[in-house]
Amino acid sequence: MSLSRQTAPNYEVILVDDGSTDSSLAVAEQCFKKFNLKGLYIARPTSVTKGVASCRNYGIKMSSGDWMAFLDSDDLYEPKAIENTTKNILLHGATCSAYLHANCEFDDETGAVTRVKVHNHPNELLDYLPILLTENHITTSAVTLKKSLIEEIGFFDTSLHGIEDYMMWLRASKRTKWCYSPEVLTKYRVRQLSLMGGRKLVYYIEQNKLLIEGMQLVKEFNTDEIAKVDHYLDETLNYYAQISINKYGWDDFKSGIKLLKQNGKIAVAEKLYKFHHKNHLLKKVYSILRPKK
């Protein structure tokens, strides 16, 4: 348990169980006692809707601290993650409400580090919005936000599932600069089927549409900013389309193409179809020509 190895002298842990059917809460109770962790281990109340955003919001509301760091269940903190982030907060806290550090990805099965994500940013407070408009490269477990900032925004958007963090980073960037540290303090576990992996293509299309509608609804973003995010989300569909085809087949992919056209994204649909249809035909030809064993 990476939280038990933290060098920081004082921090609060809020663990929210999102309706697990195993003995997760009992294990959490044992860990809290064994490692003398301060805080709460609680089950999501039935009055709170299921989902990552809802559980994060509930945990934030139950917390007593001024700063919120997020550690998803499959990620790990390096021992100095909280201590070194706290040092940055003490250094910039009066002028900055968002902190981000570098992280690395490791394979769930082998434990081997597969990628180190260190960005070439200057060691100063950054206007992160221009970066986020064209790519969301922020790992949730590498973020610390001021609680009052989250409250001002209105917490994580519970209509979004798997993309709610991106919306939070965008809205936070409208209100504060970010302090970035190139120190690798979070380890992100890579699995074949993550929260945003292994879904049908229509799921990603619907979530992207909800995020754009949310940006329009809050009236904080201009048309150029929304257009840039919309373009970036359209580009991510190429990756998710391949996941969908691999798991659910060609018919599921065509359902996504149909939905894109219904949403008025005809050019995006045609480009996506052309690219994957070519690959689809090549695979069929390869399958026919491949010698049988």
- Cα–Cα distance between 155 and 161 in angstroms, integer? 14
- Amino acid (1-letter code) at residue 91: L
Q: Please, which residues bridge with residue 181 across strands? A: 101
Which tens digit of pLDDT belongs to each residue from 190-244?
Answer: 875 554 567 899 999 999 999 999 999 999 999 999 999 999 999 999 999 988 8
Q: Tell me, what's the pLDDT at 24?
A: 87
Residue ranges, comma separated, of all CATH 3.90.550.10 domains in the chain are 2-190
pLDDT at residue 282, as a whole number: 47
Residue-level pLDDT at 30: 93
What amino acid is encoded at 111 in this protein?
Answer: G
CATH fold, domain 2-190, is Spore Coat Polysaccharide Biosynthesis Protein SpsA; Chain A (3.90.550)
pLDDT for position 167: 98
Residues contacting 164, CB < 8 A, separation 6+? 52, 53, 156, 157, 158
Q: What is the pLDDT of residue 83?
A: 98
Which stretches in the chain have pLDDT values below 50?
195, 282, 285-288
Percentage of residues of the chain with pLDDT beyond 70: 92
